[in-house]
Amino acid sequence: MTTIPVKTVDIIEQFGPHLAHTRGLRLDTGVEPDKVVPTHCCFCGQQCGILLKVKENQVIGFEPWYDFPFNQGKLCPKGVKRYLQGAHPDRLLHAYERDPSAQGGFKPLPYDQAIARAAAEIERIQTQYGPAAFALLSGASLTTEKTYLMGKFARMCLKTPHIDYNGRLCMVSAAAGNKKAFGIDRGGAPWTDILQAEVVWISGANVAECAPITTDYVWQARENGAKIIVVDPRITPIGRTCDLFLPVKPGRDVALFNGILHLMIENDWLDHAFIEQHTSGFEAVADHVKEWTPQRTAEITGIAEKGIRQAAEWWGTAKTSFLMHARGIEHHSHGVQNVLGAINIVLASGRIGRPGCGYSTITGQGNGQGGREHGQKADQLPGGRDLGNPEHRAYVAGVWGIQPEELPQPGVDAYELFRKIDSGEIKGLLSICFNPLVSLPDNAFIQRMLEKLEFYVAIDFFLNETARYADIVLPGSLHEEDEGIVTTAEGRVIKINQAVDCPGEARQDWRIIQDIAQALGRERGFTFSSPVEILDELRLASKGGVADYYGITYEKLERENGIFWPCPSLEHPGTPRLFEPGSWNPVARGQGPFYFPDGKARFNVAVYSPPAEEVDAEYPIILTTGRVVSQFLSGSQTRRIGPLVDQYPEPRIEIHPLLAEKLGLAEGDWTTVESRRGRCTLRAQVVKTIRPDTIFIPYHWAGPRSANQLTIAAQDPISKIPEYKVCAVRLKIAAGPPEYVGELEPYQ
Ligand SMILES: Nc1nc2c(c(=O)[nH]1)N[C@H]1C(S)=C(S)[C@@H](COP(=O)(O)OP(=O)(O)OC[C@H]3O[C@@H](n4cnc5c(=O)[nH]c(N)nc54)[C@H](O)[C@@H]3O)O[C@H]1N2
Ligand SMILES: Nc1nc2c(c(=O)[nH]1)N[C@H]1C(S)=C(S)[C@@H](COP(=O)(O)OP(=O)(O)OC[C@H]3O[C@@H](n4cnc5c(=O)[nH]c(N)nc54)[C@H](O)[C@@H]3O)O[C@H]1N2
Ligand code: SF4
Ligand SMILES: [Mo]
C-alpha cells in the first residue's frame, strides 16, 4: 500500500503559485476572437447563458448572451471570471502518480500507463476482496451524459453497489421530500411564475449570493407588488430588501411551518377544494399541528409571535404565491422534515400547478438537478428509477443488454462509504468531480480514511485537496472542453457546447471512464464515440420513467433554448410547469396531476426534533456554515481565480456585536472556534446581521481554514444529508495569528 505522510505532499512546489499568474490577468483585452460559442456558466444551478470568446483554442473572455431567456445577459462575479481557469498554470495537463521522493510528492507518467495502473489496481482489489470493495464518488457538476455513464460504469462494468455523488451533500433532502409529497423530484415551476406571485416566501436561501440571478426575479415580483418573506438566522442581502424577515434559530424551520399551518387552519385560510380533490393525508397533519400554537412556535423558533402571525396572514390570504428554499432548511439531521413542512403549507394553500404559483428548492450545483436523475445516486437507475424495484431493474438491464440479476443492489451514501473504508469493507476508490476532504463534515475522519485506502484514483482538471491523497491523478475536462446536457434549477434541460479542446494529455471525462473499462477488458457497453451517443442511450433508458428525457435531442434543445422535462416523445414540447390540472403523467395515468397512482399529492406529518448537537454550557454557541458570493463550493476552482479571491480573500467568523462584546472580541481579532470535532482560528467579522446566539463561517477553504473541521457528521435518517447548518461550538480570542498565517498562500 502506498501511503506517504501528508506533509511530504507539497504540490505547490510542483505546480507553482497561481495567484501571481491570474491576479490582474486580462486575457480578453483588445483581442479579436476566432469564434464566439453560446454555452452556459460552469458554476451554479441557474446555468446562466454566456457567450465564450475563443482564440487559438483558448477561452479568452466572454460576452453576455442576451437572448438566453433565463438570465438575459446577466451574470454574477463568478460567471464573468470562469474563463480564467482554462489557461491556469495549475491546470492538470498530464497524468500523475504519487511518488514520495518526487518534488511535490507526484511525478508525471504517460497517460496510458496511468490508465493501465488504475485498471490493474481495480482488478486486484476486486479479485482479492470482491466487487463491492471498490467504490466510486461522482459529481453533479458533470453533464448528465457523464453522470449516466458513471452509474452504468459502477453497476455494469465494476459491478459494485458503491457509487454515490456530491449531491448527497446538497440536493437529497429536497429530493426525498419532493418524492414523498409529489412522487417526483423536480422544481415545480418556471421562474417566470415568481413574477406574478403576490407573496414570495424564501426559507434558508441566500438568494443574492448563491442564486444571484434569481434575485432579479424576486425583485421584479416586488416591483409588481409582491410581499417578500425571508426566513434565515442571518439578514442576508435578500433579507435586507424583504418585507418581513423572520430570524429563525438554526434547525427550527419545521416548527415554523407547522406554526404557520396551525394559523392557516385556525383562520380558515385553506383551499378546501384543492385539498379535497388533489391531496391525501391532510387530517393527520392538521391534527399534528394543533400543538403548534403561535406561542410554542415562537418559543422553539426564536421568532417573535407577531412575525409568525404576519407571515401566516400574508401567506394564508394570498391569491398567488411562490415558496423557495435551499440548503438552509435542507442541511439538517431533520432536513426532510423541514422540506415536508414547507410543502404542507403550499398544499394547504392550493397554490401549485397554476400560473403565478409554485414551489421549488433552489438547485445548488451546475447540474444539481440533472445529476440527481439518471443513476449516479446509490439507489438509483436512469429516468429517476429505483435500483431496488424489480420492474425498473428489468427495464434498465434490458437497455444495457444484461440480466437484471447482474445489477448490484443499492449501495450506501457518500459519508457511509467512508465509514466502510474504516471498517475495511472498501479498499479502493475512484473519484471524479468531488472534493470530499473539504466538503464533508468532520473532515479529520475523511483524511484518515483517505490515508487508509489501498488505492485511490482521482479525475479532475485541478489537483484538489482530496486528490493530493490519490495514487493516480487523471487529467479530466473543463466545462468548455466538452458538450452535453445539464438541467437547471427550473427543470430546464439545456445544452453545454464545446468551445475548445482539452489541452496536453487531458481528456474528456467520459473518455477516461471508457479507457478504464477497456483496460479492464470490460468494454462492452462502454464504446460510445461521442456524448450524443450516450444521450441517445440515456433517452431510451429514461423512457417511461418519471424523469423521462426520451423526447430531448441536441437539435431540439438548441432550437428551443432548452426543454423542460418530462418530455416523453419527440413531438412533446416539454413541461415547464408541473402539476397542472388535467396534465398526464406515467404514474397517475390521467387520475390527477401528481405522480402517484391516484394522482394526488401527499400531506406528510412533519415532525420537529432538535438538531443532533444542541448547545450546552461547554459549547454554548451555534455554528452555521454556508457560502459567499465570490467563492464556489470547496473552492478548488474559485480559490484559484485571483479577482474572486480578492473579493473575499479568507474565511471570517460572522459574529453579532452582543456576542463579540461578551467575549471581548473586536472586528478583525484572531478567534479560535472549537467544536467536539476540531478547532479553527480565523478573524472575526462583527456584523449586526446575524442572531446573537449563532456564528457563521463560509466553508470554501481547506486545511486549517476549513469549516468542516468543526461540523458534525450527523445525517438525516431518510436523505442522509449531513447537518452542515447546526453544531455547537465555543469561541475564544486567539493569543496571536495562527501558525498557518505566512505559510499559506491565499488560495489554500
Ligand atoms: N456564490 C456561491 N453560489 C453558490 C454556491 C457557492 O458555493 N457559492 N454553491 C451552489 C450550491 S452547490 C448550493 S447547494 C447553493 C446553496 O445556496 P444556499 O442554500 O442559499 O446557501 P448557504 O449559504 O448554504 O445557506 C443558505 C442560508 O441558510 C441560512 N441558514 C443556516 N441555518 C439555517 C436554518 O436552520 N434555517 C434557515 N431558514 N436558514 C438557515 C444561512 O444563514 C444562509 O444564509 O448555492 C449554489 N450557488
Ligand atoms: N460546512 C459545509 N460544507 C458543505 C456545505 C455547506 O454548506 N457547509 N455545502 C455542501 C454542498 S451543498 C455541496 S454541493 C458540496 C460540494 O462539495 P464538492 O462537490 O466536494 O465541491 P466542489 O468544489 O464542487 O468539488 C468538485 C471538484 O470537481 C471538479 N470539477 C468540476 N467540474 C468538473 C468536471 O466537469 N469534470 C471533472 N473531472 N471535475 C470537475 C472541481 O475542480 C473540484 O475539484 O459541499 C458541501 N459541503
Ligand atoms: S448565477 Fe450561477 S450560473 Fe449565473 S453566472 Fe453566477 S454562478 Fe454562474
Ligand atoms: Mo450544493
**Phi/psi of residue 733, each to 5°?**
-70, 135
For the CA of 214, the closest atom of ligand 3 is 1
Q: Cell 449586526 identifies what position? A: 688
Residue of 498, 634, 675, 723 to mutate, ligand 2, most atoms within 8 A of C-beta: 634
pLDDT digits (tens, 9 = 90+) for 20-31: 334 334 444 567
Predicted pLDDT of residue 187: 87
Q: How far is CA 684 from the centre of its chain?
A: 28
Query: What is the rounded average pLDDT of the residues 700-713?
Result: 97
CA distance 217 to 194: 6
CA pair distance 32, 722, nearest whole angstrom: 47
Q: Side chain identity at 357, as an amino acid letter?
A: C
Q: Does the C-beta of 690 come closer than 6 Å to ligand 3?
A: no
Q: Is the pLDDT of residue 353 over 60?
A: yes
Distance from the alpha carbon of residue 171 to the mean position of ligand 4, in angstroms: 7
**Confidence category of residue 745, pLDDT binned at 50, 70, 90:** low
**Residue length of the chain:** 748
State the Cα torsion 199-204-209-214 to the nearest 10°.
Answer: -30
Return phi, psi of residue 201, to 5°.
-105, 125
Query: 144-152 and 509-519 are packed helices; what angle lies between their axes, rounded to 10 degrees?
Result: 20
**Nearest residue to 61 via CA among 90, 93, 87:** 87
CA distances (Å), 164 to each of 161, 378, 658, in order? 9, 5, 43
Amino acid at 475: P
Enter the C-alpha cell of residue 110: 504517460
SS3 494: strand
Q: How sure is the predictor about 652, in pLDDT bands with cuts at 50, 70 and 90?
A: very high
Average pLDDT, the chain: 94
3-class SS of residue 459: strand
Number of the ligand 2 atom closest to the C-alpha atom of 459: 38
206 lines ligand 1 (CB under 6 A): yes
Instruction: Kindly identify the ligand whose nearest atom is closest to the C-alpha of 342.
Output: 1
Q: Is 170 in the pocket of ligand 1 (CB under 6 A)?
A: yes
CA distances from 371 to 106, 166, 344, 359 (A): 31, 9, 26, 20
Helix (H, G, I), strand (E, B) or coil at 321: strand
Instruction: Say which amino acid occupies 427.
Output: K
Question: What's CA 352's distance to the chain center, in Å?
Answer: 24
Q: Which three cell numbers stand for residue 549?
A: 428525457
Q: Are 499 and 550 in contact (CB under 8 A)?
A: no
pLDDT of residue 321: 98
Q: With a cut of 90, say whether residue 368 has pLDDT above it.
A: yes
> DSSP state, 737?
S
The H or E element that residue 49 is part of is: strand 49-55
Q: Confirm if 148 and 374 have CB atoms less than 8 A apart.
A: yes
Residue type, 451: E
Angle between helices 294-301 and 305-317 (to 10 degrees): 120
What spatial distance separates the first Cα and last Cα of the chain, rounded to whole Å?
A: 28
**What does the block give as the cell for 565?**
422535462
- Which pLDDT band, with edges at 50, 70 and 90, does 370 fall under? very high
pLDDT tens figures, 461-470? 999 999 999 9
Per-residue pLDDT band for 739 (boundaries 50, 70, 90) equals confident
| C-alpha cell belonging to residue 739 | 501558525
The CB of 76 under 6 Å from ligand 3? The reply is: yes
**CB of 365 shorter than 6 A to ligand 1:** yes
Alpha-carbon distance of 534 to 542, in angstroms, equals 12
In SS3 terms, 588-630 reads as CCCCCCCCCCCCCEECCCCCCCCCCCCCCCCCCEEEEEECCCC
Task: Taking residues 497-523, report their average pLDDT.
Answer: 98
Q: Considering Cα of 506, then 511, then 516, then 518, what sign does the dihedral take?
A: negative
Identify the burial level of 673 via C-beta atoms within 10 angstroms of its C-beta, where 0-12 means exposed, 13-18 middle and 19 or more buried: buried
Which numbered atom of ligand 1 lies nearest the CA of 206?
Answer: 20
pLDDT at 291 over 60: yes
pLDDT single digits (tens) 422-451: 999 999 999 999 999 999 999 999 999 999
Chain centre to alpha carbon of residue 715: 16
Task: Provide the 10 A C-beta neighbour count for residue 131.
Answer: 16
From the CA of 65, which ligand is nearest? 3
Indicate whether residue 275 lines ligand 2 (CB < 6 A): no
Q: Mean pLDDT across the stretch 557-567?
A: 96
Question: Could you tell me the distance, in angstroms and rounded to a whole number, from the CA of residue 232 to the centre of ligand 1?
Answer: 10
SS3 string of 504-571? Answer: CCCCCHHHHHHHHHHHCCCCCCCCCCCHHHHHHHHHHHHCCCCCCCCCCCHHHHHHHCCEECCCCCCC
Q: Is the CB of 514 within 6 Å of ligand 2?
A: no
Q: Are β-strands 199-203 and 321-325 bridged in parallel, bridged antiparallel, or unpaired?
A: parallel
Residue 104: pLDDT band (50, 70, 90) is confident
Model confidence band, residue 748 (pLDDT cutoffs 50, 70, 90): low
Q: What is the pLDDT of residues 119-129, one digit of tens each?
A: 999 999 999 99
User: Which helix (H) or strand (E) is 244 found in, with range?
Assistant: strand 244-246
Query: How does pLDDT run across 385-431, given as a tens digit for each residue?
Result: 999 999 999 999 999 999 999 999 999 999 999 999 999 999 999 99
> 229 pairs with which residues across the strands?
201, 244
Cα(24) to centroid(ligand 2), Å: 26
How many Cβ atoms are within 10 Å of 7's Cβ, its own excluded? 7
Mean pLDDT of 189-199: 98
Q: Whose CA is nearest to atom 5 of ligand 3?
A: 79
Hey, is 351 helix, strand or coil? coil
pLDDT digits (tens, 9 = 90+) for 143-163: 999 999 999 999 999 999 999
**Residue type for position 522:** R
Q: Which domains, from first to last, does the chain contain?
A: 13-85 (3.30.200.210), 95-170+367-564 (3.40.50.740), 172-362 (3.40.228.10), 621-733 (2.40.40.20)
pLDDT attached to residue 472: 98
Atom from ligand 1 closest to the CA of residue 231: 38
Nearest to 122 by CA among 148, 87, 86, 160: 160
Q: Does residue 214's CB lie within 6 angstroms of at least one atom of ligand 1? A: no
Structure letter (DSSP) for residue 469: G
- Residues near ion ligand 4 (CB < 5 Å) are 170, 364
Kindly identify the ligand whose nearest atom is closest to the C-alpha of 641. Answer: 2
Range in 30-34, 224-228, 737-741 the model is least confident about: 30-34
Neighbouring C-alpha atoms within 13 Å toward the C-beta of 547 = 29
Q: Which of 6-15, 233-242, 733-742 has the lowest mean pLDDT?
A: 6-15
Cβ(39) – ligand 3 distance below 6 Å: no
DSSP symbol at 688: T
Ligand 2 pocket, residue 367 CB under 6 Å:
no
Ligand 3 centroid distance, CA of 45 (Å) = 8
Which ligand 1 atom is the nearest neighbour of the CA of 325? 19
Give the burial class of 682: count Cβ atoms within 10 A of its Cβ; 0-12 exposed, 13-18 middle, 19 or more buried.
Answer: buried
Q: What are phi and psi of 473, to 5 degrees?
A: -120, 125
Looking at residue 545, its pLDDT comes to 97
- What value does the mean pLDDT take over residues 713-742? 95
Cβ(47) – ligand 3 distance below 6 Å: yes
Asked if the model's pLDDT at residue 513 lies above 50, the reply is yes
Phi/psi at 199 (5° precision): -130, 130
HSE-CB at 700 with a 13 A cutoff on CA atoms is: 24
The answer, yes or no, to whether the previous bond of 566 is cis (omega within 30 of 0) is yes
Give the integer Cα–Cα distance in Å for 336 and 185.
13
Q: Check residue 743 and give its pLDDT.
A: 72
One-letter amino acid for residue 144 of the chain: T
For ligand 1, is residue 152 a contact (CB within 6 Å)? no
Q: Is 75 in the pocket of ligand 3 (CB under 6 A)?
A: yes
